[in-house]
Amino acid sequence: MRFVIAGGSGFLGSHLTGHLRASGHEVTQLVRRTPTSPDQSQWQPADGLIDADVVAAADVVVNVAGSPTVGNPHSSRWARELRESRVDTTRLLAETIAATGGSPAFLAGNAVGYYGDHGSEPVTEASDSTGDSLMARVTREWQAASEPAAASGARVCVLRTAPVMDRSAPPLKQLRVLFKLGLGARLGDGLQYFPMVSLRDWLGAVTALATDEQAEGPFNICCPETPTNAEFTRALARLVSRPAFLVAPKRVLTVAGGDAAPELLNSMNVRPQALLDRGYGFSDRDVTSVLATGLA
């Protein structure tokens, strides 16, 4: 199959590119600089510039572009870039796909932050988006930006991705260092559910959706057994052989976290129901397996 990937130089995009090529697929990366190889194509999403012929020739377009989610939560510039780098790229790709008549499938990146705080209630793809946190607002716009592709008849999968746990990327990269120093801490009361997924399951799920011509709609990409923050804290401390007795009080996190505080304190007991219904078999089903794989 022929893939076009936006955000191919980032953590997820580079791993997806390598995974697809190793599986025999052809991948073209969209880059903002001058291309340095035949398998790259230049685009400038802020200016609406893209090679429509490259998109039209693809079987699947995947968008995992976006500025880092870790940044200064009190910075309006960080919040603006968080939104624009996701919404603008998705909209340009969706409109370009629509102009081709909807021939390529579109795998549109998104995040489980879409759901907002649901307490201990199980959350599936049918659950509502609640609250007014920064990430909830961004993910709603992010998803809406993919609508031109769906309206044109293209097959669209919205990838509501949980934090991907791998030692080479946030958040596990930073947390591993803190926990090994004995500075691991439960956040608030630790009862909030914290969805996550291993890199190998993220790659497997995205590849499965790309190649399944009947798959469309939103898909939660997270391990089937979502842990609480307290369970996550205990599991990571055990795997790095360090104690984790500290607690980060809710009131401190609320002040220090700014607009990003809800992402630390919201509870989302997310289930990957749509993937399970399509028969996807997870390699890492719970927090211990996800972290052990990520730390390996």
User: pLDDT tens, 219-250?
Assistant: 999 999 999 999 999 999 999 999 998 998 87
Would you tell me how many other CB atoms lie within 10 Å of the CB of residue 162?
23
d(CA 2, CA 4): 7
Look at residues 149, 59, 50, 53 and name the one whose alpha carbon lies nearest to residue 104: 59
Residue 86 has pLDDT above 90, yes or no: yes
Strands 2-6 and 197-198: unpaired
Q: Are 27 and 33 in contact (CB under 8 A)?
A: no
What is the C-alpha radius of gyration for the chain, rounded to an integer number of angstroms?
A: 19
Percentage of the chain with pLDDT > 90?
86
Look at residues 106, 113, 100, 116 and name the one whose alpha carbon lies nearest to residue 145: 106
Enter the DSSP assignment of 224.
Answer: S
Residue 74 has pLDDT above 70, yes or no: no
Sorted by where each starts, the structural domains of the chain and their CATH numbers stand as 2-295 (3.40.50.720)
Tokens of residue 158, six digits? 């919205």
Tens digits of residue pLDDT in 139-194: 999 999 999 999 999 999 999 999 999 999 999 999 999 999 999 999 999 999 99
Residue 15 has pLDDT above 70, yes or no: yes
Contacts 24+ apart (CB under 8 A), 279-285: 280/204, 280/205, 280/208, 282/201, 282/223, 282/224, 283/198, 283/200, 283/201, 283/204, 284/197, 284/198, 284/200, 284/201, 284/223, 285/223, 285/224, 285/225
Nearest-10 Cα torsion for 7, 13, 16, 17: 60
The rounded Cα 29 to chain-centroid distance in angstroms is 18
Rounded to two decimals, the pTM is 0.95
- List, as one string, the DSSP characters of 126-140: TSPP-S--HHHHHHH
Residue 186: which H helix or E strand, with range? strand 185-187
Averaged confidence pLDDT in the chain: 94
| CB-count exposure of residue 8 (10 Å: 0-12, 13-18, 19+) | buried
